[in-house]
């Protein structure tokens, strides 16, 4: 059986390299949660084999060496030979030494399963790839997402088994993109199930009430080398900043067809939607540079990954580290 484990471990790593290589080159979309789950299962199998078969076999071999050495010492003592250099400790160490596949499979099981559980139920890191959430989040921000804030979901299946806090207006959430669930998006929750939300002439109203907005000094975007209008907006309990571009017209151009398209109406001044049950209307803080619910519809509750709350690193600007709203 030991001879079988080496090619199995080699095949496991060959498949892993193939999968990661194709993911890196863009041949297919990767699913890190599924990958961690499969690695946890595979290394667990190797861990069980090591714990209950191979390690006991090596320990038995080491004991057999000791018993053989004791028997040999007894025979030699009868012959008057008292001291024998049989290198027992060296032989036992060699017998107890695990093969390479143990360290790279069973040995990694506790680490992989801890990462899997931590990432699935507590916190997950993400990297901001675009400027749709400027000025709240910048390109290159590495953020943490609270996976249990809204409830406990089964990993890989994404089924909620325990509900906790409700989603609130103003929350910044990471979710699986409804058009392509393999991709993760980050936006701000603007409207809840049952709300009527309108974004007309770049002003937001919810259920007929204008969202409180205060003008701020223009924002200079270092990436685009342009100034944008900046506003303080209050959706939840705390204000956040949003940007608009005077050069961009208010109407929505290039919408996607989605299951609840009839819940929205589009005019030259903007869009108005009634949010269906179990769904949320989300927008980017960089309002004129964000593909969001205005274009592709609503976010189903089952697509929510978690609540984003902390920038833990930005290698280009360490001053961005900290909590955000």
Residues known to be catalytic: 132, 187
How many whole angstroms separate alpha carbon 274 and alpha carbon 259?
13
Return the structure tokens found at 23: 């993911």
For 110, half-sphere exposure in the C-beta direction (CA atoms, 13 angstrom radius) is 4
CB atoms under 10 Å from CB of 19, counted, come to 16
What's the Cα-to-Cα distance from 257 to each of 118, 221, 263, rounded to whole Å?
36, 32, 12
Q: How far is CA 36 from the centre of its chain?
A: 11
Q: Give bridge partners of residue 203 from the DSSP assignment.
A: 200
Whether the Cβ atoms of residue 226 and residue 219 lie closer than 8 Å to each other: no
Under a CB-based contact definition with an 8 Å cutoff, are residues 259 and 266 in contact? no
Query: In the chain, which ranges are E strands?
Result: 123-127, 142-146, 151-153, 160-163, 172-176, 184-191, 196-200, 203-206, 209-210, 213-221, 226-234, 239-244, 264-267, 270-274, 279-283, 299-300, 304-313, 322-323
């Amino acid at each position: 059986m030991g001879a079988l484990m080496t090619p199995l471990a080699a095949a496991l790593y060959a498949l892993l390299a193939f999968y990661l290589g194709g993911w890196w080159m863009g041949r297919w979309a990767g699913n890190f949660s599924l990958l961690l789950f499969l690695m946890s299962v595979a290394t667990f199998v190797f861990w069980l084999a090591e714990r209950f078969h191979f390690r006991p076999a090596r320990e038995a071999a080491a004991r057999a060496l000791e018993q053989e050495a004791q028997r040999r010492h007894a025979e030699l003592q009868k012959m008057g030979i008292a001291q024998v250099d049989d290198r027992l400790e060296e032989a036992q160490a060699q017998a107890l030494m695990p093969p390479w596949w143990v360290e790279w499979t069973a040995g990694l099981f506790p680490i992989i399963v801890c990462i899997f559980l931590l990432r699935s139920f507590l916190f997950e890191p993400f990297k901001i790839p675009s400027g749709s959430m400027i000025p709240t989040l910048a390109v290159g921000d590495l953020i943490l997402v609270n996976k249990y804030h809204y409830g406990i979901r089964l990993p890989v299946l994404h089924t909620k088994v325990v509900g906790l806090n409700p989603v609130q207006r103003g929350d910044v959430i990471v979710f699986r993109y409804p058009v392509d669930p393999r991709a993760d998006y980050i936006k701000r929750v603007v409207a809840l199930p049952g709300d009527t939300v309108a974004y007309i002439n770049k002003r937001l109203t919810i259920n007929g009430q204008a969202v409180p907005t205060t003008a701020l000094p223009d924002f200079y975007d270092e990436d685009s080398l342009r100034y944008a209008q900046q506003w303080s907006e209050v959706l939840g309990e705390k204000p956040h900043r949003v940007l608009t571009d005077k050069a961009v017209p208010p109407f929505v151009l290039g919408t996607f067809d989605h299951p609840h398209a009839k819940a929205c109406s589009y005019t030259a001044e903007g869009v108005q939607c009634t949010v269906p049950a179990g769904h949320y209307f989300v927008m980017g803080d960089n309002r004129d540079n964000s593909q969001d619910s205005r274009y592709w519809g609503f976010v189903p509750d089952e697509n929510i990954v978690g609540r984003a709350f902390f920038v833990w690193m930005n290698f280009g600007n360490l001053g961005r580290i900290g909590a955000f709203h």
